Amino acid sequence: MTVSSKQGVFITGTDTAVGKTVVAAGLALVLKERGIKVGVMKPVATDCHGAEKRLVSYDAAFLMEAAENEFPPLICPSRFRSALAPHVASILERKDVDLERISRAYCELQKHYDFIIVEGIGGLLVPIAKDYFVSNLIREFHLPVVIVARSGLGSINHTLLTVDAAIIRGFDIRGIIFNRIPNVNYSLAEITNPKVIHDLSGVSVLGSIPDIDDLDVESCRFGKLKEIFQERIQIDKILADTTLIV
| Pair 175, 12: CB distance under 8 Å | no
Three-state secondary structure call for residue 11 = strand
Measure CA 17 to chain center.
11
Sign of CA dihedral 54, 57, 41, 33: positive
Backbone angles phi, psi at 87, to 5 degrees: -60, -40
Q: Please indicate whether residue 42 is annotated as part of the active site.
A: yes
Question: What span, in angstroms and rounded, lies between the C-alpha atoms of 221 and 201?
Answer: 34
Give the active site residue among 6, 32, 37, 42.
42
For residue 14, give the nearest of 132, 204, 145 by alpha carbon: 145
Residues annotated as catalytic are 42
